[in-house]
Copies of this chain bind each other. A is one copy, B any other.
Amino acid sequence: MTNIKDLAKMAGVSVTTVSRVLNNHPYVREDKRNAVLEAINRSNYQPNINAVHLSTGKSFLVGVVVPYIDHPYFALLIKGMASEALENNYKLVLFQTNYLETREIEALQMLKQKQIDALIICSRKCSWSTIEAYLLYGPIILCEDTRGKRVSSTFVDHYKSFMIALEHLYQKGHRKIGYCIGRKSGTNSRQRELAFKDFVENYHLPYEPAYIFEHCTHFEDGEQVIERIQQMSNPPSALLVTSDEVAAGIVTCAQNRNISIPGDLALLGFNNQPIAKMMNITTIEIPLVDIGRKLFLQGINISKEAAYQEIPVTLIERETV
C-alpha cells in the first residue's frame, strides 16, 4: 500500500505538501499540486483512515445505542440518523443492547476510547448517573426529556401526548381505558404511566392495573392482548397502543374473532407509521425519522451547551376510535 511518503517521493515534494493537497490546504504552487495529484492517480493511493484518526483525534463515527433494530420504532429513528450521517460524511456504529446494561457501557467506553465522536442513546437501561460519568469524553445525546440535565436531547413529551390521547378517548365517551406498552420501566414509559395515573385521578376513574399490557412491541403481540381482554369479565372499552404496529396486530386479531373495532374496542395508536394509514388506525403522529435526523445533528454539533428539542405531536383521527 502506498502512503504519503511514497507519494512525496514520486511527486518530488515533501510529505507536508502532499498532505496539503490531500486536505485542500492553501499555499501550494499549481505545478506541485498537479504533480502530487498525478502521483495519486498513478498509485491508486488510499489514505489510511486509522492514521488520520490517530493524528486528528476524530473518527467521523457516531455510535447509536438501541435495544433492538428489528423494531419499526428504532428502525425509523436509525433511518433518519443514517440519512443525516450520509449528508455529513459520518458513519453510524450500531450497538444492539437488548437492554443489557453491560452493552450500553461498552458503547460508552467506545466514546471514552475515542473510537466514536459522539453517542446517541435511543433507549436505555442504565441509570442517569452512569451516563453522567462519561459526559466529559464526548457528546452524549438522548431521545428522552433531559431538561435540567447537562445533555442534549430530541424528544417528545410523552406525558403530554399521552394526555392528549387519553382526553380524546374520554371525549369519545370512553371510561374504561387501558394501554399497551413495550416495557414499564424506562423514562418515556414512566412519563406515560404518570399521565395515565393523573388522568384517571382527574376524571375520578378507577385505576385498573389489568388494563395495562406490557411487552407489546411487535405486530404479533396484538394477539395476546386480545386474548387477555377476552378473558376479562370487565374489559376495557378503549386502548392506547404505543406502537401502530401493535395496534395493527390487535385490529387484525380482533377481526378474526369478530370483535368490532371501535364498537367493542377502540384503539388509538402511536407514531403514524404507514401501516396505520393503510389500516385506518387513529393515531398520534410522531415524526420518528425527523427525530432521528435531529438526534444525529445534535451529536455532531460542537456547541458546549446542552440543547433540548421538544418535538410536537398531532392527533390523526381515523376509524378506530
Q: Which residues of A contact B (CB under 8 A)?
A: 46-51, 53-54, 57, 59, 61, 68-72, 75-76, 78-79, 82-83, 86, 91-96, 103, 109-110, 112-115, 218-220, 222-223, 248-249, 252-253, 255, 274-275, 277-279
CB-CB under 8 A from A78, the residues of chain B are 69-70, 94, 96
Closest 7 CB pairs of A and B: A70-B75, A82-B96, A50-B53, A220-B278, A49-B115, A49-B113, A220-B274
Task: List the number of copies, as a whole number.
Answer: 2
CB-CB under 8 A from A274, the residues of chain B are 218-220
| Cross-chain contact B112 with A46 (CB below 8 angstroms) | yes
Alpha-carbon separation in the docked complex, A159 to B259 (Å): 41
Of all chain B residues, the one with the shortest Cβ separation from A278 is B220
Chain A, interface SS category: helix
Alpha-carbon separation in the docked complex, A21 to B219 (Å): 50
| Cross-chain contact B278 with A219 (CB below 8 angstroms) | yes
Alpha-carbon separation in the docked complex, A72 to B94 (Å): 17
CB-CB under 8 A from A86, the residues of chain B are 96, 103
CB-CB under 8 A from A277, the residues of chain B are 220
Task: State how many angstroms separate the Cβ of A219 from the closest Cβ of chain B.
Answer: 5
Partner of A255 from B113, B219, B222, B255 at Cβ < 8 Å: B255
CB-CB under 8 A for A113 and B47, given A83-B96, A94-B91, A94-B94: yes
CB-CB under 8 A for A91 and B93, given A50-B50, A50-B114, A218-B274: yes
Alpha-carbon separation in the docked complex, A50 to B110 (Å): 11
Alpha-carbon separation in the docked complex, A70 to B292 (Å): 13
Alpha-carbon separation in the docked complex, A181 to B94 (Å): 28
CB-CB under 8 A from A54, the residues of chain B are 48, 50-51, 53-54
